[in-house]
Amino acid sequence: MKLQRRSLLAGATASLAAFAPNAWAQGYPTKPITVVVPFAAGGPTDALARVLCQKMSEHLGQQLVVENIGGAGGTIGVNKVAKANSDGYTLLFTHMGTLAVNIALYKSLPYDSQKDLEPIGLGGTNPMVLVTKKDLPAKTFQEFQAYVKANQKKVQYGMAGIGAASHLGGLMLNSMMKVEVLEIPYKGTGPALNDLVSGQFDYMVDQAVNVLPQINSGNIKALGVSTLKRLPQLPDVPTIDEAGLKGYEVTIWNGLFGPKGMAKEQIAKVNEALGKTLADAAVSKRLTELAVDLPSKEEATPEALRKQLTASIDKWVPAVKAAGVKPE
């Protein structure tokens, strides 16, 4: 009789244990969710995160609070999420540099991008633009390429720091043009762009959202875009590929991730909220103004983001290692 009672009790306990995680996930979220952005406030990734989180909060019924944790090329913020409780209340919104490029930059990362994080969904892709100081003699990309090749000893290009989007764009451009020019690293896009406007260096390749205001104001010149299609915001500016540097394509994707072990039901729920947000007309309009390329429904799945991460690692790790780039 006692054995029978113990067996029934054990069976009931096992059934409850199997049911509990699903029930818990179905009620999720029951409190605010922290979304870590591993960069200082005000940058492109932060701006995109805030637009998305504001609308996602409405769909999830709980506030998504953006927390900026910068430092060490984004590794500090990423590591916080990688080591966080997997209960779904600490998420990560970051760009590909922290998860792919940093593998080549740092000898030992405190996290494994592919093992310690659960992909949730792609939040958007930022195109880049080749911009030069206003008085640079070149007026077209062809003239620019010829000018840089002929003046390698005096030409300078700027970027927002090792591993930054502007560093990757310039690294790929210089490599494909087969030129070696003086590299000027800054501590952020703001200072770099200010010095480009004042003519302190010659060119940079940075995200469109950063440079569009200065281009439209006539403070700098745009000579090419990094995508394979022209940007609606700059219809008269050719792609660098069509201008003659075949195969040049650099875009910066941003994705939403959770810690390893986050419940699939929770991932699905957050992904659903992200999908509804991206489909919202007001959000779409705002992100288009920021020159963000929105993912399709198929591109926004967790599986698609996982493939995107793998492809970025395969592309950028060999390129950065070959260039011998080291963190500051």
Q: Rounded to the nearest 5 degrees, what angle is found at the Cα of 315, between the Cα atoms of 202 and 252?
A: 55
The pLDDT assigned to 9 comes to 46
Residue 11 belongs to some domain of the structure = no
Is the preceding peptide bond at 29 cis, omega within 30 degrees of 0? yes
The CATH number of the domain where 96 resides is what? 3.40.190.150
Q: Is the pLDDT of residue 52 over 60?
A: yes
- Bridging pattern class, strands 90-95 and 33-37: parallel
Tell me, rounded to whole angstroms, the distance of Cα 102 from its chain centroid. Answer: 12
Residues 113 and 136 in one domain: no
Residue 148 belongs to some domain of the structure = yes
Burial class of residue 247, CB neighbours in 10 A (0-12, 13-18, 19+): exposed
Q: Is the pLDDT of residue 8 over 60?
A: no
The pLDDT assigned to 328 comes to 57
How far is 321 from 138, CA to CA, in rounded Å? Answer: 31
Residues 76 and 162 in one domain: no
The pLDDT assigned to 26 comes to 67
Length of the chain: 328
Residues 41 and 90 in one domain: yes
Residues 115 and 261 in one domain: yes
Residues 54 and 89 in one domain: yes
How does pLDDT run across 264-307, given as a tens digit for each residue? Answer: 999 999 999 999 999 999 999 999 888 899 999 999 999 999 99
Q: Is the pLDDT of residue 115 over 60?
A: yes
How far is 91 from 53, CA to CA, in rounded Å? Answer: 11
Residue 230 belongs to some domain of the structure = no
How does pLDDT run across 153-172, given as a tens digit for each residue? Answer: 999 999 988 888 898 899 99
Tell me, rounded to whole angstroms, the distance of Cα 14 from its chain centroid. Answer: 42
Lowest mean pLDDT segment, chosen from 9-13, 162-166, 216-220, 305-309: 9-13
How far is 47 from 172, CA to CA, in rounded Å? Answer: 25
Residue 235 belongs to some domain of the structure = no
Which of residues 225, 244, 263 is at a domain's end?
225
The pLDDT assigned to 1 comes to 44
The pLDDT assigned to 221 comes to 98
Mean pLDDT for the stretch of residues 68-91: 94
How does pLDDT run across 203-214, given as a tens digit for each residue? Answer: 999 999 999 999
Nearest to 280 by CA among 52, 13, 24: 52
pLDDT above 70 covers a percentage of the chain that reads 91
The CATH number of the domain where 143 resides is what? 3.40.190.10
Number of domains composing the chain? 2
Residue 26 belongs to some domain of the structure = no
Residue 233 belongs to some domain of the structure = no
Range of the domain at 258: 32-125+252-323
**Beta bridge mates, 65:** 34
Residues 133 and 120 in one domain: no
Residues 39 and 120 in one domain: yes
Look up residue 285 and give its DSSP letter: H
Q: Which residue type occupies 69?
A: I
Extract the tokens encoding 268: 């699905």
Average model confidence (pLDDT) across the chain? 90
Residue 48 belongs to some domain of the structure = yes
Nearest to 48 by CA among 101, 155, 121, 106: 121
289 vs 328: which has the higher pLDDT: 289
Q: Is the pLDDT of residue 227 over 50?
A: yes
Residues 116 and 141 in one domain: no
Residues 82 and 114 in one domain: yes
pLDDT band at 314 (very low <50, low <70, confident <90, very high): very high
Mean pLDDT for the stretch of residues 177-193: 91
Residue 237 belongs to some domain of the structure = no
Residues 114 and 74 in one domain: yes
How far is 43 from 304, CA to CA, in rounded Å? Answer: 25
Are the CB atoms for 73 and 111 separated by under 8 Å? Answer: no
Residues 103 and 139 in one domain: no
Q: Is the pLDDT of residue 247 over 90?
A: yes
Residues 259 and 204 in one domain: no
The pLDDT assigned to 2 comes to 46
The pLDDT assigned to 25 comes to 60
